[in-house]
Amino acid sequence: MRLAKYLAHAGVASRRAAERLIAAGRVSVDGEVVTHPARDVDDSSRVAVDGSPVALEAREVWMVNKPPGVVSTARDTHGRPIVTSLVRSERRLYPVGRLDADTTGLILLTNDGELANRLTHPRYGVEKTYRARVAPAPVPERALRALREGVELDDGRTSPARVRQLEPGVLELRIAEGRKRQVRRMCEAVGHRVVELERVAFGPLRLDGLGRGRARRLTSAEVERLRKAARG
């Protein structure tokens, strides 16, 4: 296994971040600093980052129904509740992407850096589905059409979204991008403020039946469905 992939599988970082650690000279193999991410390693290799030993650990993926006010980080310097505190696991888990503190719904946590990178990288086009309550209501067809075609934001034009109005002022939006506060900004760009926002699906997985603030570990079949969705 290549060194960068080994670090990603060990939960140290995503593969890209692992490559940066290696290039910075922070990784050693069998006591020797290695600066090339393609170096082959196996279970018998003594891999260390900043002098601390690294070993492969069992990979886990969890689904969490994030409540409002909880931040999507593994730690917070302001003392706010963090999403990792909702999961009972001995592994070092990290959020797959982020949800705003005031956005609720489905977020994944994992120690599989490679899978996390694939699920969030626009190249692989994994859709996230949101339900947004907006004001004013209802949303006219011209605004829905603009969302479907892509709207201009301050960081560039969005890719086309799949949008339908479930009831007056309640939209279901499916996007494969992950820009900061993207759904809120898209709706504002067509003249509608988001009052409530919930992510209800991530790729092939839906929240169905998981209560607010609850978490569960994904089955091997569910993880495999995620991997297939992230193969592009």
Residue 148 and residue 187 in one domain: yes
Number of domains in the chain: 3
Give pTM, 2 decimals. 0.79
Residue 136 and residue 188 in one domain: yes
Residue 114 and residue 209 in one domain: yes
Residue 66 and residue 167 in one domain: no
Sign for the pseudo-dihedral over CA of 156, 161, 164, 167: negative
Question: Are the CB atoms for 210 and 105 separated by under 8 Å?
Answer: no
Report DSSP state, residue 34.
Answer: -
pLDDT in tens, the chain (232 residues): 899 988 987 878 888 889 999 999 999 999 999 999 999 998 789 999 999 999 877 889 999 999 999 999 888 878 889 999 999 998 889 999 999 999 999 999 998 888 998 999 888 999 999 999 999 999 999 999 999 999 999 999 999 999 999 999 999 999 999 899 999 999 999 999 999 999 999 999 999 889 999 999 999 999 999 999 998 6
Residue 78 and residue 139 in one domain: no
Residue 83 and residue 184 in one domain: no
* C-alpha–C-alpha distance, residues 140 and 8, integer Å: 45
Q: Which domain holds residue 101?
A: 61-121+205-229
Q: Is 50 a catalytic residue?
A: no
Mutual orientation of helices 141-149 and 182-189 as an angle, nearest 10°?
130
* C-alpha–C-alpha distance, residues 187 and 134, integer Å: 8
Is residue 111 classed as helix, strand or coil in its secondary structure? coil
Catalytic: which of 100, 112, 155, 208? 100
Question: Are the CB atoms for 198 and 131 separated by under 8 Å?
Answer: yes
CATH of residue 221's domain is 3.30.70.580
Closest CA to 62 of 115, 100, 12, 104: 115
**For 128-179, where are the alpha helices, taking DSSP H only?**
141-149
* CA trace torsion 176, 13, 110, 121 (10° rounding): 10
